[in-house]
Amino acid sequence: MEKKLYPGTLRRLRSNAVIRSLINPLKLSHQSFILPIFVEENLQSPRPIQNMESVFVQTIETIIQRIENAILSGVNKFLLFPIPAVKKVIPDDFSFAFDTVVKIKAHFGDTIWLATDICLCSYTSHGHCGIMNHQKTEVLNQESVEILSTYAVLLAKAGADCLAPSDMMDSRIKAIRDKLINSNLGYKTIMSYSAKFSSQFYGPFRDACHSSPNEGSTLHDRKSYQLSPFNPEQALLAALRDESEGADIIMVKPAGLYADIIASLKERILTPIAAYHVSGEYAAIEILSERGIVDRSKAHMEVWASLQRSGASIIISYEAEKAKEWIENYEY
Ligand code: PBG
């Protein structure tokens, strides 16, 4: 077929899928993906998460099969969210999370990489990510860091490969790193939710973990510890601090709405950057695709491309299991 393109046109390199797949400088790999997984204590059978019906909270029995299926789809990195049966003002029982990690690692060993979320919001009766003062008006930094770092070391002892603190207290990375080293677990990695914004897009996740701030306190949002969408400088400061305190991976979350943060971090740090495409962002694509406005797989691919362009080398996605198939079959 005769092609009539003007000299100097950029369209020569976009004229068909074969040439596009050759010259695109960015290529995704399913190996860059982490799949979030949820396990709830005393749950009888897996339950779907509201507004993200293809994602299920697992029981301690079903989690092994769940991971096996994911491995078959090409995923071997996981971010675990344990949901305890009992919530307290000051959490003191982390045995369910410990047992879950032991069970998973006993089964899969080093064939998988297991990161565990480190936060208190699914443990506390008030739903905050840390310990509150007696009047329940504020979240206390040092008291929270003390418990969070103890919890992190416990899960490292259980066999977690990576600890991923999402609480947003100050100096928790240093506390966790110090305690890991003192327990001869200094080789464990820390993935810090450094640039975690106070966002509207965590809704389905909070439903799944029963972890919204509630009437148990007079503080009804997480703005005193999570970052403001209007303050990019604090995100950079938090990331730089966490890197210097011993974090191995720096996370930005939500992902798509904060691609600018990923890009500016990329210029300033050499630590790998992970982007967490969160539950609300995922649900938005679900709803758009249900209404026929977008094609699900192509919409996810487009988001993933934007995260990669911004500078994220790791993507945390509820669709991680589809990454291999979608990337292989994508028509560039
Ligand atoms: C816990 C935590 C949250 C998410 C990950 N860890 C929610 C929150 O901060 O309220 C959100 C993940 C998602 O929405 O997919 N602190």
Catalytic-role residue among 77, 87, 179, 196: 196
- Cα dihedral value 297, 299, 302, 306, nearest 10: -120
Q: What is the pTM of this model?
A: 0.96
Residue 172: inside a domain: yes
Looking up residue 319, the CATH number of its domain turns out to be 3.20.20.70
The 10s digit of each residue's pLDDT in 62-86 is 999 999 999 999 999 999 999 999 9
Pairing assessment for the beta strands 131-132 and 113-118 based on DSSP bridges? unpaired
The 10s digit of each residue's pLDDT in 4-57 is 767 778 888 999 999 999 999 899 999 999 999 999 999 999 999 999 989 999
Structure confidence at residue 3 (pLDDT): 65
SS3 280: helix
Residue 277 CA, closest ligand 1 atom number: 15
Structure confidence at residue 9 (pLDDT): 82
Residue 6: inside a domain: no
* Number of domains present in the structure of the chain: 1
pLDDT band with cut points at 50, 70 and 90 for residue 1: low
Measured in Å, residue 4 CA sits from the centre of ligand 1 at 52
User: Known catalytic residue: 196?
Assistant: yes
Residue 280: inside a domain: yes
Catalytic-role residue among 87, 179, 188, 253: 253
Q: Is 37 in the pocket of ligand 1 (CB under 6 A)?
A: no
Residue 287: inside a domain: yes
Residue 325: inside a domain: yes
Domain extent, residue 302, equals 29-329
Measured in Å, residue 166 CA sits from the centre of ligand 1 at 7
Q: Is 278 in the pocket of ligand 1 (CB under 6 A)?
A: yes
Residue 204 CA, closest ligand 1 atom number: 14
Measured in Å, residue 205 CA sits from the centre of ligand 1 at 6
Q: Is 166 in the pocket of ligand 1 (CB under 6 A)?
A: yes
The 10s digit of each residue's pLDDT in 145-185 is 999 999 999 999 999 999 999 999 999 999 999 999 999 99
